[in-house]
């Protein structure tokens, strides 16, 4: 059974200039433990779809189910991480992470101990008592990731999580995410604009059309992940898939340019 099931989903926004159809007839199933990326032209509804799986928005029609249950509101089984780290500036690293545990109902005494474990997991040992403003962008995003991971959601919903980072930090965060997801066995749905990132991280890359967004292509990513980043990214199999995804997105962004 799929863990996330999206069936015939449609969503419009009402604006001052009338109704905007953001998504139409979206169908997607994601298995437990799968890492799926959503790519597509700007404004095609990727974030809208992610927020609906998160329970922050409701579809106008169609169904979204997680573990066989209709999604109606946010829940601790789904953890969302945004591009903007959304940390509390008045709380330290440890307190920011512990806040996630408070929301999950972890008793006060355990919170700091569990938060400390997650500080180590994301490589921030020694920075527990720093405030967000004292951290680099990459470190802040590690805190945001740790805060979400700390309450152990089965599903991670990532909206351009590394979009604000420089390319080197971005690559090290990607490798960290892969390591964490493999050890904690998460199901991941990630929105990204970066085709290399999508192919490097995912088991499957899903391409959406221009608005109204619908799924137009899917690319399974069958690469040997026991190799290092350089071997993978320089391999023919990686580049073959990357090129296909890139062309599919380009075709959606400006169909006339590739006809």
Ligand X SMILES: Nc1ncnc2c1ncn2[C@@H]1O[C@H](COP(=O)(O)OP(=O)(O)OP(=O)(O)O)[C@@H](O)[C@H]1O
**Binding interface with ligand X (CB under 6 A):** 13, 15, 20, 22, 42-48, 211
On whether the CB atoms of residues 175 and 229 are closer than 8 A, the answer is yes
Query: Nearest approach, Cβ of 165 to ligand X (angstroms)?
Result: 16
Question: Which residues are within 8 A (CB) of 101 and not within 5 positions of it... i.e. 6 or more apart?
Answer: 110, 111, 114, 115, 150, 151
At how many degrees (to 10) do helices 108-121 and 137-150 cross? 130
In terms of CB distance, is 15 or 72 closer to ligand X? Answer: 15
Query: Nearest approach, Cβ of 83 to ligand X (angstroms)?
Result: 9
Interatomic CA distance for residues 177 and 92, integer angstroms:
22
Query: Nearest approach, Cβ of 208 to ligand X (angstroms)?
Result: 7
**For the chain, give me the number of helices (H) and strands (E)?**
8, 10
Query: Nearest approach, Cβ of 47 to ligand X (angstroms)?
Result: 3
In terms of CB distance, is 46 or 142 closer to ligand X? Answer: 46
The DSSP result for 73-88, as a single string, is S--TTEEEE-SS----
Give the residue among 79, 109, 116 at the shortest CA–CA distance from 94.
116
Query: Nearest approach, Cβ of 45 to ligand X (angstroms)?
Result: 4
Q: Which residue has the tokens 């007839």?
A: 25
In terms of CB distance, is 21 or 112 closer to ligand X? Answer: 21
**181-193 in b/e burial notation, b at 16+ Cβ within 10 A?**
beeeebbbbbbbe
Query: Nearest approach, Cβ of 157 to ligand X (angstroms)?
Result: 12
In terms of CB distance, is 2 or 47 closer to ligand X? Answer: 47
In terms of CB distance, is 32 or 60 closer to ligand X? Answer: 60
On whether the CB atoms of residues 252 and 209 are closer than 8 A, the answer is yes
In terms of CB distance, is 110 or 254 closer to ligand X? Answer: 254
Query: Nearest approach, Cβ of 42 to ligand X (angstroms)?
Result: 4
CA trace torsion 175, 177, 182, 187 (10° rounding): -140
In terms of CB distance, is 135 or 207 closer to ligand X? Answer: 207
Burial class (CB in 10 A: 0-12, 13-18, 19+), 20: middle
DSSP letter for 99, please: H
């Amino acid at each position: 059974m799929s863990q996330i099931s999206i069936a015939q989903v449609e969503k419009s926004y009402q604006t001052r200039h009338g109704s905007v159809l953001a998504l139409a007839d979206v169908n997607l199933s994601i298995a437990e433990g799968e890492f799926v990326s959503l790519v597509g032209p700007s404004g095609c509804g990727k974030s809208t779809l992610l927020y609906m799986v998160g329970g922050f928005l409701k579809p106008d029609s169609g169904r979204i189910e997680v573990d066989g249950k209709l999604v109606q509101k946010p829940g601790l089984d789904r953890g969302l991480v945004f591009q903007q780290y959304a940390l509390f500036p008045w709380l330290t690293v440890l307190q920011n992470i512990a806040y996630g545990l408070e929301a999950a109902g972890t008793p006060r005494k355990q919170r700091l101990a569990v938060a400390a474990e997650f500080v180590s997991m994301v490589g921030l040992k020694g920075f527990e008592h720093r405030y967000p403003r004292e951290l680099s962008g990459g470190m802040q995003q590690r805190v945001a990731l740790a805060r979400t991971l700390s309450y152990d959601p089965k599903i991670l919903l990532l909206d351009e999580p590394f979009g604000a980072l420089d390319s080197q930090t971005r690559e090290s965060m990607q490798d960290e995410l892969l390591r964490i997801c493999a050890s904690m066995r998460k199901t991941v749905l990630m929105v990204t604009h970066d085709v290399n990132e999508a192919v490097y991280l995912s088991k499957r890359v899903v391409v959406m059309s221009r608005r109204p967004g619908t799924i137009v292509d899917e690319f399974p990513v069958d690469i040997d992940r026991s190799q290092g980043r350089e071997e993978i990214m320089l391999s023919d199999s990686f580049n073959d898939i990357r090129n296909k995804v890139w062309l599919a997105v380009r075709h959606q962004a400006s169909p006339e340019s590739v006809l």
